[in-house]
């Protein structure tokens, strides 16, 4: 049976080798697969992607920006490393070599999108670099895999109209900018109005949730999804399923929402079910999430996707807590 999961153990980048000490939860895919294997009593298959080519990356990003990625200073800016925060003395690899990691994980997003068109639902257990603009990277995002996957599939005439549903804590500003003025891509971003990025970009539809309104999060999300579908009829959906709005996320800047697992589980279930019910292909990517516990959010999302696709579970099988 063909799998609709995309992953590689190489997704777990060796950050200390690059002199980085950031709380990126790069083992989320491994943790999700381990929990799902425990549920099933067997190991789940996944497909390892091919890295993107630089030619594919250049369909979205400018030549000047891609050239700048050969300079370590560009990477220091993207990873927001101030003086002394890059542990260059103990690093064994130069920062520009990390492009290979991003090309692999971003290739996973393109493969997941292809699988979604074929199988209905698919997930890349990584990716989601929605802060990368065409001419710059920021917010830990080097290349915008979401925009590249959409652009590649559109150029191959496999799709025409794409809806991006981004529920990361932070606005999907890079993706919004990449498709500004493109009537065939609708960018929906449901994010914290407070916190980074202080200056928001204009998506097709933005829902900035204030801390005082986080009790209405699901209400606001469902209303936004309904509005998007009234305005736009997509051929496929890219679901940017960030876990950094979780109450166990450890990034200080995500303190404004801190939503419980049950809310995020319902968020992801509602989005997956909405498009599965309409038989609109959906590819999910992980996006933001920081600390040792955020994988729990992704576990429930991937499990629901597998339930609805009928590839691994039926809906009567009890999920692990």
Q: How confident is the model at residue 1 (pLDDT cuts 50, 70, 90)?
A: confident
The token pair that represents 156 in the structure block: 């191959």
Is residue 180 a contact partner of residue 164, using CB atoms and an 8 Å limit? no
pLDDT of amino acid 313: 60
State pLDDT tens for residues 3-21: 999 999 999 999 889 998 8
Is residue 225 a contact partner of residue 272, using CB atoms and an 8 Å limit? no
What structural domains does the chain harbor?
5-309 (3.40.800.20)
Cis (ω within 30 of 0) for the bond into 208?
no
User: Once rounded to an integer, what is the mean pLDDT over residues 183-209?
Assistant: 97
State pLDDT tens for residues 105-164: 999 999 999 999 999 999 999 999 999 999 999 999 999 999 999 999 999 999 999 999
Q: How far apart are CA 60 and CA 55, in angstroms?
A: 10
Q: How far apart are CA 22 and CA 81, in angstroms?
A: 10
The total of other beta-carbon atoms located within 10 Å of residue 188's CB is 26
Is residue 235 a contact partner of residue 162, using CB atoms and an 8 Å limit? yes
Cut 0.85: pTM above it? yes
User: Once rounded to an integer, what is the mean pLDDT over residues 12-33?
Assistant: 90
Q: In which element (H, E) is residue 283 found?
A: strand 282-285
Mean pLDDT across the chain? 95
* Size of the chain, expressed as the number of residues it contains: 321
Q: How far apart are CA 212 and CA 216, in angstroms?
A: 9
Ranges of H-type helices in the chain: 28-40, 54-57, 63-68, 72-78, 99-119, 145-155, 173-178, 217-231, 261-277, 295-309
């Amino acid at each position: 049976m063909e799998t609709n999961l995309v992953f590689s153990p190489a997704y777990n980048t060796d950050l200390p080798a690059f002199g980085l000490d950031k709380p990126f939860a790069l083992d989320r895919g491994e943790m999700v697969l381990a929990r799902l294997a425990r549920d099933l009593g067997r190991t789940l298959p996944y497909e390892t992607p091919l890295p993107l080519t630089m030619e594919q990356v250049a369909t979205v990003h400018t030549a000047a920006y891609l050239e700048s990625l050969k300079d370590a200073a560009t990477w220091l800016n993207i990873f927001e490393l101030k003086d002394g925060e890059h542990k260059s003395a103990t690093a064994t690899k130069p920062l520009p070599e990390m492009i290979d990691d991003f090309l692999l994980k971003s290739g996973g997003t393109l493969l997941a999108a292809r699988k979604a068109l074929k199988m209905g639902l698919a997930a890349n257990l990584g990716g989601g670099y929605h802060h990368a603009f065409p001419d710059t990277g920021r917010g830990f995002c080097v290349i915008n895999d979401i925009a590249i996957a959409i652009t590649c599939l559109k150029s191959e005439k496999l799709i025409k109209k794409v809806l991006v549903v981004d529920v990361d804590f932070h606005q999907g500003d890079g993706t919004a900018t990449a498709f500004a003025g493109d009537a065939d891509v609708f960018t929906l971003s449901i994010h914290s109005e407070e916190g980074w990025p202080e200056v928001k970009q204009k998506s097709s539809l933005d829902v900035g949730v204030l801390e005082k309104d986080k009790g209405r999060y699901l209400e606001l999300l469902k209303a936004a999804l309904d509005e998007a579908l009234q305005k736009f009829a997509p051929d496929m959906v890219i679901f940017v399923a960030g876990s950094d709005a979780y109450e166990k996320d450890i990034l200080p800047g995500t303190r404004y929402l801190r939503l419980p697992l049950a809310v995020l589980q319902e968020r992801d279930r509602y989005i997956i079910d909405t498009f599965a019910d309409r038989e609109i292909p959906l590819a999910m990517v992980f996006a933001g999430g920081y600390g040792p516990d955020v994988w729990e959010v992704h576990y429930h999302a991937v499990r629901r996707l597998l339930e609805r696709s009928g590839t691994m579970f039926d809906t009567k099988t009890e999920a692990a807590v």
